[in-house]
Amino acid sequence: MTVVAMSSDMHLDLNRVEIEPFIQQQVQWFTEKRVDLFLIAGDIFNDFTKTLNYLHQLRMAMPTLTAKFVAGNHDMLRHVTFEELESPVTGAYLHNQFYDVPETNWRVVGNNGWYDYGFAANLNRAPETFEHWKRAYWVDGQINQALTDEERMQLALKQSEQLFKKAKQADKHIIFLTHFVPEIAYIRFTDDDRFWNMANGFLGSPKMGQLIHQYQVEAVQFGHIHDAGTPRQINGTWYFNQAVGVSRGKQQEWHADSYFQAWQQKVMRIGLNDDKMWQIGLDETKKYLIL
């Protein structure tokens, strides 16, 4: 059985993590848990160069581990262009790429994802209103891009659909790795017109969830929101969000004696056989067949 570890939104800089000791702890954990593949659904650093350096250091520290990631909005904030984000800058970067898990019939399909304000359609705001709000209040206002948000989401949908089609044609089971929220069930709505409901528009798109359902994708790993809870099955697809989040100042999103303990509490392991998926519990002997 191939063992896969899943993590997201580690925010190593915001959590003020000492990188080398943390990687040493991770390598020991991966070795003890016999992890073969490490999937990260974005938001590693607020700097794409630092994200790439972390992946390089991890690869050097544990050459037997395969690590793949997609970029989150925080990774996109510094030292990367839109054109670079759309290109295969390194073998670990899985945006608009796929990875066939050896000795299984599983394929990991990657796409960073984006948003089109669809999760805030209940507010009945014009796109220009969201664009203005984003520049004024949302961290993504720092990100330069050649497309509008709606155009960028359409590109993500087109890229994902092409890879889903290829996977189905190859008779592969799919794990979809993306950063932004792909399913409306994770969005919190209120009955009033609260100011911060605008933020829902920047979390993802319901169109991605519709595409996932259309192609009967078996499993999805995503991030972006830091309180998604336990894995859940929606329309036949298993959704995993293993976001660590931030514990600093007013943002107390994890509670543990150390960052590594917090990461351990959030990381998920699954096992892949040829056509089956197992969730591996904290007790090594407990494996739950989910697909």
The answer to whether residue 133 scores a pLDDT higher than 90 is yes
Q: What is the DSSP string of 81-106?
A: -HHHHTS--STTB-TTEEEEPTTSSE
Percent of the chain at pLDDT above 90?
89
The whole-chain average pLDDT of the chain stands at 95
First to last CA, the chain: 14
Pair 114, 149: CB distance under 8 Å = yes
> With bands split at pLDDT 50, 70 and 90, how would you rate the model's confidence at 291?
low
Q: What is the pLDDT of residue 180?
A: 98
Cα angle value 72/78/79 (rounded, 5°): 110
Rounded distance, CA 12 to CA 5, Å? 18
Is the model's pLDDT at 58 over the cut of 80?
Answer: yes
Nearest in space to 177 (alpha carbons), one of 4, 2, 3: 4
The pLDDT-based confidence of 255 (bands split at 50, 70, 90) is: very high
SS3 248: strand
CATH code, residues 2-289: 3.60.21.10
Rounded Cα gap, residues 234 and 122, in angstroms: 22
Q: Is the dihedral of CA 57, 53, 12, 185 positive or negative?
A: negative
Length of the chain: 291
The CB density around residue 176, as the number of other CB atoms within 10 Å, is 30
Please, which residues bridge with residue 251 across strands?
A: 248
Cβ-contact 163, 86 below 8 angstroms: no
pTM exceeding the 0.95 threshold for the entire prediction:
yes
Strand partners, 241: 222
Kindly state the helix (H) or strand (E) to which residue 277 belongs, with its residue range. strand 277-280
Residue 195 has pLDDT above 80, yes or no: no
pLDDT range class, residue 142, cuts 50, 70, 90: very high
Residue 91 structure tokens: 């073998």
What contacts 193, CB < 8 A, 6 or more positions away? 123
* Segment 63-112, tens digit of pLDDT: 999 999 999 999 999 999 999 999 999 999 999 999 999 999 999 999 99
DSSP labels, 120-161: GGGG---HHHHHHHHHHH-GGGG---SS-HHHHHHHHHHHHH
pLDDT digits (tens, 9 = 90+) for 207-221: 999 999 999 999 999
pLDDT: which is higher, 140 or 124: 140
Show the tokens assigned to 236: 């036949």
**What percentage of the chain has pLDDT greater than the value 70?**
96
Given a cut of 70, is residue 283 above it in pLDDT?
Answer: no
Written as one letter, the residue type at 182 is P
DSSP 16: T
CA distances to 123, 190, 228 from 194, in Å: 9, 8, 21
